[in-house]
Structure 1
Amino acid sequence: MLFAGAVGLQLFAALLLLSNSLSAGDWPQWRGPQRNGHAPADTPFVADGKFFEKWRAEVGTGFSSFACTNGRVFTVGNADDQDTLWCLNVTDGSVLWKHTYPAPLDPNLFEGGPTSTPTVTGERVYVISRTGDIFCLNAADGSIVWHVLLSEEQRQNRPSWGYAGSPLVDDGKVYFNVGSHGLCLNAENGETIWESDNSELPGYTSPFFVETSGARLMLLESEKALQAVDPASGDVKWKFPWITRYGINAADPIVLNDHQLIVTSGYQKGGSLLEFTADSCNEKWRTREIRSQMSPGVLIGDQLYAIDGDAGRDPRLICADPATGKIKWFSREVGCGSVIAVGTQAAVLSESGELLILPAGATEFKPLVRSQILEGKCWTPMAYSDEMFFARNADGRVVCIAKNQNDPPPEKTSNSP
């Protein structure tokens, strides 16, 4: 079985999205510049390195992650049955603007609040609520460019925990995980370009692009399948059945190269290596040892880091061989946390708010750095931009964490918008 490893990843990354120009340190959307959980790093983290808190803010209950670009940090929280999209100053956390709209907290077996992440492109920011309000706002001042409320038929077909997939913007279009296999709107005015039927409930993953065999596909999951869609027409090119208990397909697939990916879900479902082309998909192996319930894993070189297991059921951080699915090592110290890649190192946020940095090519769970940066429940994946981490807990406390250089750290600021 062919596995392209790090070389394939580098080639594939060059083909991924981002038609828009970005600064080197930007993290403008869910899971970063290439929507795969990776951020560049100017310098690696070193053993016993230190972090300091630059600022903290309160944004309201929720699990929205961050978009960071042009000196601004965007996220969403809920208070008093209203969602607020916040635009914060990256330097000190002060509020540049905010936009509030009605949205129920809906604490259905969790704290509730928004679960999708804003997407920023140019001077536009896009966001979708759990109940189907879609906004395009001016990123500079928060003024409404357009607003679309999904049709009653679409909203009746929303999944049990609402819309969670984050907007995907490309070439004048904005895509959402709505309907059986997606929704495409005109990014300039919100008009519908194409929409899917309601034959299946949408899943909770965010759409993203892959390039394979000379074709571009958009991948997203419904409650019953992983689907490859032609982003221009909305036609389904292939469909791989993937039925998970309660219809919870929530962790984005992990792309290995231009023809392989790993799809995974919790609730004892497991993970599978799929090989795909522009019009077909086949399973190569399946394992019960990679079961990501919510947060996606990341591929770093020839190692896959992911959370295996469900919240409240002793989940573990695993390091696996992506070619075989075999576990190399694991740790139960991080709970239902999350992991991103910073350069060649894995950055883990534990469920209890501890930041851990693993060495490149880690052969065991032996963090270089450990720092308690938050308290409370921390399920939301971090963002990393301009050598700063952005993290939040379920209650809505946000922290900006930076490396502590040789100089003493500045006095932190606390903002409660």
Structure 2
Amino acid sequence: MRLRASRLLLAVFCFSFAPTGTLTPAHSAEPDRLDSDSWNQWRGPNRDGTLAQSAPWPDRLSGNLEKAWSFPLGPSYSGPVMVDGMVFTTETVNQQFERVTAYDIATGEMRWERQWEGSMSVPFFAAANGDWIRATPACVPGYLVVLGMRDVLVCLDTETGEERWKIDFPAQTGSSLQPFGAACSPLIHNGAIYVQVGVGLTKLSLESGEVLWTVLSGGDDMMSRGAFSSPSIATLAGQEQLLVQTREELCGVSLDTGDVFWREKIEAFRGMNILTPLAIGDSVFTAAHSGKSQLFDIQRDDSTKAWMVNERWNQKTQGYMSSPVVVEDHVYLHLKNERFTCLSVADGSIQWTSPPVGKYWSMVRNGNRILSLSADGKLRLIDANPGEFTVLDTQEVADDSWAHLAVSGADEQPLILIRALKSLTSYRWKNP
């Protein structure tokens, strides 16, 4: 999940408790049964901004995009997600409620909506930019998981919107609210949910909401409590694991037990480790606010099984809120200074840096093409060319947008979902 700029100023234990629930499950959890075009969670199916199994995009936006439908909504920073022909989006309503609405992807017809009390006020120095829901939901057939600003995790039935279960972490664990609201986008994998909340990185049962373990609890002050980043899954040195960035560390964590395999301190201004780290083979890339860009090689000793973290390179390039994409041997990253850059994976060398392009980008990669959506509502089609910054076309699609765009890879009519601050719009390619 991303956070707007001025909002960001800012031990292992296990326990189990029962969430509240109102719905007897009507589905079996089938987290791996997804259509190839399902943009079902933060940054897509693999949480890396890559659109898999998709036909190539056209070389231009102009004349190739048509608006299918659009609806006004309350403000939200979380991106839309879709599964089984439905799209889900969040909003904050009347500075009091958090609401989820489901639409038919093809027609835009509203299928259901569900809301609960859940808003909060951010510190006064961040209030000018609003205080609405941030985390992008995650869904699989039958299950939609939403994290609200007050660290309340809600699981809804995707077909009906009925509540399956709900867990209020501060109420049930005694943890404090995260100062700027919960920002981590939940991850669903093999019948489990992984999410970074105020109490720490937590694994829960998707079916029941039972908490299975909690680790990486973090500090107690405003600059170390909670998380701005969202986890992903990577296989590093032959071991599948959670790739997690806290306010202070980059870590590899066991999916099963929560054991921390390895950890590395990441220096960032006021704990603003925001982007989702990117696994590249057996290496991990990250970039911190007022810190640096770094690539770490993750290894494991065959005899002792000890984990080793070696920094391959670092350099002065500063990331911020935008998570990168990788195309072949290069990382494409939007920077704190509002520019866009291409870095060599091999040695971190800067291939090029663009002129200023806006405060925030979300990006999706399809082959050697990148779609970027900027905070000022401009959609750009970019050639992922390490030789030069090449924008193939630009089209204005919103007044402003701080949510991650969502892209379908359906063969017949691929679509692009744009969550502007106060609307949701579906565009379709005319000539995919």
Quickly name the TM-score band, shorter chain normalised.
Answer: 0.7 to 0.9
Aligned runs of 1:204-283 on 2, under 5 Å? 204-257=228-281, 259-266=282-289, 268-277=290-299, 279-283=307-311
On the 8 A contact 1:49/1:368 being kept in 2, the answer is: no
Q: Aligned-pair RMSD on alpha carbons?
A: 2.1
- Is 2:23 the partner of 1:23? no
User: Which of 154, 161, 174 is the equivalent residue of 1:142?
Assistant: 161
- Is 2:206 the partner of 1:187? yes
SS in 2 for 1:332: coil
1:256 aligned partner, one-letter code? I
Aligned runs of 1:43-62 on 2, under 5 Å? 43-47=56-60, 49-50=62-63, 51-62=65-76
1:132 aligned partner, one-letter code? D
Work out the number of aligned pairs and report it.
380
1:370 aligned partner, one-letter code? T
On the 8 A contact 1:388/1:402 being kept in 2, the answer is: yes
State how far apart, in whole Å, the 1-side matches of 2:404 and 2:213 are.
Answer: 31
User: 1:171-227 CA distances to partner (integer Å, 9 max, x unpaired)?
Assistant: 221111125751011111111111126343232111111112332211112211112
Residue 46 of structure 2 corresponds to which residue in structure 1? 34
Cα pair distance change 1:46/1:324, threshold 3 Å? same
SS in 1 for 2:230: coil
On the 8 A contact 2:351/2:386 being kept in 1, the answer is: no
State how far apart, in whole Å, the 2-side matches of 1:277 and 1:351 are.
Answer: 38
Residue 402 of structure 1 corresponds to which residue in structure 2? 428
On the 8 A contact 1:72/1:89 being kept in 2, the answer is: yes
On the 8 A contact 1:107/1:113 being kept in 2, the answer is: no
1:337 Cα shift? 2.0
1:362 Cα shift? 5.5
Cα pair distance change 1:288/1:155, threshold 3 Å? farther
On the 8 A contact 2:119/2:133 being kept in 1, the answer is: no
SS in 2 for 1:127: strand
On the 8 A contact 1:179/1:196 being kept in 2, the answer is: no
SS in 1 for 2:257: coil
State how far apart, in whole Å, the 2-side matches of 1:126 and 1:67 are.
Answer: 11
* Higher alpha-carbon deviation: 236-245 or 189-198: 189-198
* Higher alpha-carbon deviation: 81-90 or 331-340: 331-340
On the 8 A contact 1:175/1:184 being kept in 2, the answer is: yes
Aligned runs of 1:103-118 on 2, under 5 Å? 103-106=118-121, 108=123, 109=126, 110-118=129-137
Aligned runs of 1:282-321 on 2, under 5 Å? 282-289=310-317, 291-309=318-336, 314-321=337-344
On the 8 A contact 1:79/1:105 being kept in 2, the answer is: no
1:159 Cα shift? 3.4
- Is 2:350 the partner of 1:327? yes
Q: What is the percent sequence identity of the aligned residues?
A: 22
State how far apart, in whole Å, the 2-side matches of 1:112 and 1:317 are.
Answer: 28
SS in 2 for 1:284: strand
State how far apart, in whole Å, the 2-side matches of 1:112 and 1:318 are.
Answer: 30
SS in 2 for 1:228: strand
SS in 1 for 2:270: helix
Residue 13 of structure 1 corresponds to which residue in structure 2? none
Cα pair distance change 1:181/1:235, threshold 3 Å? farther
State how far apart, in whole Å, the 2-side matches of 1:404 and 1:88 are.
Answer: 21
Residue 182 of structure 2 corresponds to which residue in structure 1? 163
- Is 2:84 the partner of 1:76? no
- Is 2:198 the partner of 1:176? no
State how far apart, in whole Å, the 2-side matches of 1:106 and 1:74 are.
Answer: 24
1:104 aligned partner, one-letter code? S
Residue 382 of structure 1 corresponds to which residue in structure 2? 405
1:349 aligned partner, one-letter code? L
Stretches of structure 1 that go unaligned for 5 or more consecutive residues are: 1-17, 407-417
On the 8 A contact 1:272/1:283 being kept in 2, the answer is: yes
1:325 aligned partner, one-letter code? G
User: 1:291-313 CA distances to partner (integer Å, 9 max, x unpaired)?
Assistant: 2211201001122111111xxxx
State how far apart, in whole Å, the 2-side matches of 1:124 and 1:330 are.
Answer: 41
State how far apart, in whole Å, the 2-side matches of 1:197 and 1:297 are.
Answer: 24
User: 1:154-175 CA distances to partner (integer Å, 9 max, x unpaired)?
Assistant: 5634432222111111222111
SS in 2 for 1:38: coil
2:365 aligned partner, one-letter code? A
1:274 aligned partner, one-letter code? F
1:333 Cα shift? 4.5
1:25 aligned partner, one-letter code? D
2:315 aligned partner, one-letter code? T
On the 8 A contact 1:133/1:147 being kept in 2, the answer is: yes
SS in 2 for 1:246: helix
Residue 79 of structure 2 corresponds to which residue in structure 1? 65
Residue 409 of structure 1 corresponds to which residue in structure 2? none
1:229 Cα shift? 1.1
Residue 20 of structure 2 corresponds to which residue in structure 1? none
On the 8 A contact 2:169/2:175 being kept in 1, the answer is: no
1:305 aligned partner, one-letter code? Y
1:150 Cα shift? 0.6
Stretches of structure 2 that go unaligned for 5 or more consecutive residues are: 1-29, 220-224, 301-306
On the 8 A contact 1:353/1:375 being kept in 2, the answer is: yes
Cα pair distance change 1:329/1:245, threshold 3 Å? same
Residue 11 of structure 1 corresponds to which residue in structure 2? none
State how far apart, in whole Å, the 2-side matches of 1:187 and 1:154 are.
Answer: 19
Cα pair distance change 1:180/1:134, threshold 3 Å? closer
State how far apart, in whole Å, the 2-side matches of 1:179 and 1:384 are.
Answer: 30
